[in-house]
Amino acid sequence: MRRVFPLLVFVLLAPAGRAEIKSDEEVVFFPTAAWRDGATWVVPIHGWIYEPERDSGWRREVIEEVQEHLEVAPDSPDGRRCAERARRFLVDNERGKEISIRIGGRVHTLPESGANGHFEGTVRLPANRIERHARRGVLEFQAITTARDGRRFAGRVLLPPREGVSVISDIDDTIKVSEVLDRDALLRHTFARPFEAVPGMAPAYAAWAREGASFHFVSSSPWQLYPPLEAFRADAGFPAAAFHLKSVRLKDRTLLNLFKDSLETKPPVIRAILQRWPHHRFLLVGDSGEQDPEVYGLIAREYPQRIVHVFIRRVAGAANGEKRFAKAFRGLPPDRWTVFSDATALKPAFTERER
């Protein structure tokens, strides 16, 4: 009994899921935004656990084929960048993993990861506890690992005020040059080239952030691209934002999500954001390359008192005719939407609506 008791104490006191993250597994936490429910904050947690499998022969062959298709030398900067980004689509996603996190001074165990390695859950924390642990509107947390594991898997949750203005923005060809209408150019921008900011958009978003706006990026890009997208966001000077991307897994039908119509995929995500922050008004920012005008027009008609303004960046080669925009924004006052080529057009509508 003397030998059993210390072991029993260790098992009972050890944080749940402490040994779940193995040395060959990695965890990525995606940034989310919390919302108030009375005196409590509801804190959503979303992450991904996987094995990189960098030494796999067949994965190397796939990456070489991608590099060859994009005409980039494997040992060039573009070739190495291509390998790193493509490799995230070829990882072994870990199913059935319970991840424990330390957040707000407490340990919480999240629901098991699914077939795609993603795990999602919510943590409810009293407002006074949030106030003690948050810094500048951000609550940070980290996964619990074994004592021998020196790695740190950290995440963050944004804490928008109860009332205010939020920006819901697309990414590709709205804030990042992607050339979605040219398939080969899109692949090069996605996998091989450094991400490039659309001129003027980062300063415009930074100005909105200084005025107190919160941000959500709602995009058709897959979650596998989140790490380079987040690095791009920070390097380009865009404000911190919650990300809402597409779930795609090469081994099952979710691969078809890449080809789903954004009129089908984006409205439910945007509606959920509006419902979680009922006292916020919203700016919607997108581009004419795909269906942002139609998606945002639909949302603006559904929530006429909540949508402050819709901004659509005019993309070369897209359908930019007046008939398209008149149809997309039918029923909306003309001063509630703007089609622009220069990002300086974003500032005035925001300040005028907020006066």
DSSP β-ladder status, 138-143 and 92-93: unpaired
Same domain? For 70 and 47 the reply is no
| Same domain for 304 and 201 | yes
CB contact at 8 A, 29 and 153: yes
224 within some domain: yes
Of the pLDDT bands very low, low, confident and very high (cuts 50, 70, 90), residue 261 is: confident
Q: Which of 190, 186, 198 is nearest to 78 (CA)?
A: 190
Q: Is residue 2 part of a domain?
A: no
Number of domains in the chain: 3
In terms of domains, do 261 and 241 share one? yes
Q: Which two tokens stand for residue 142?
A: 């980290």
* Same-domain check for residues 177 and 229: yes
Looking at residues 33-59, what average pLDDT do you find? 93
**79-110: string of b/e by CB count within 10 Å (b at 16+)?**
bebbbebbbbbbbebbeebebbbebbeeebbb
Question: What is the enclosing helix (H) or strand (E) of 108?
Answer: strand 106-109
| Residue 269, token pair as written in the block | 């995500």
First CA to last CA distance, the chain: 73
Domain that holds residue 249: 164-354
pLDDT (tens digit per residue) in 270-279: 999 999 999 9
**Segment 127-160, tens digit of pLDDT:** 999 999 999 999 999 999 988 898 999 999 999 9
126 and 257 share one domain: no
CB neighbours of 243 closer than 8 A, spacing ≥ 6?
30, 31, 216, 217, 219, 226, 229, 230
Cα–Cα nearest to 81, from 66, 91, 96, 93: 66
- Local structure of 336: helix, strand or coil: helix
Residues 110 and 216 in one domain: no
Is residue 9 in some structural domain?
no
Least confident of 78-87, 103-112, 246-255: 246-255
For 73, left (φ over 0), alpha (ψ -120 to 50), or beta? beta
Question: pLDDT tens-digit profile of 193-233?
Answer: 999 999 999 999 999 999 999 999 999 999 999 999 999 99
Choosing from 158, 183, 200, the residue where a domain stops is 158
Q: C-alpha angle with apex 167: 163 to 172, nearest 5 degrees?
A: 160
Residue 252's pLDDT band (boundaries 50, 70, 90)? low
Average pLDDT over residues 102-125: 96
Do residues 85 and 98 share a domain? Answer: no
Q: What phi and psi values does residue 219 have, to the nearest 5 degrees?
A: -140, 160
10 occurs within a structural domain: no
Same domain, 144 and 243: no
Instruction: Clarify whether residues 335 and 215 are in a common domain.
Output: yes
Whole-angstrom Cα Rg for the chain: 22
Q: Please indicate, yes or no, whether residues 245 and 298 belong to a single structural domain of this protein.
A: yes
Q: What is the pTM of this model?
A: 0.90
Instruction: Answer whether residue 4 is part of any domain.
Output: no
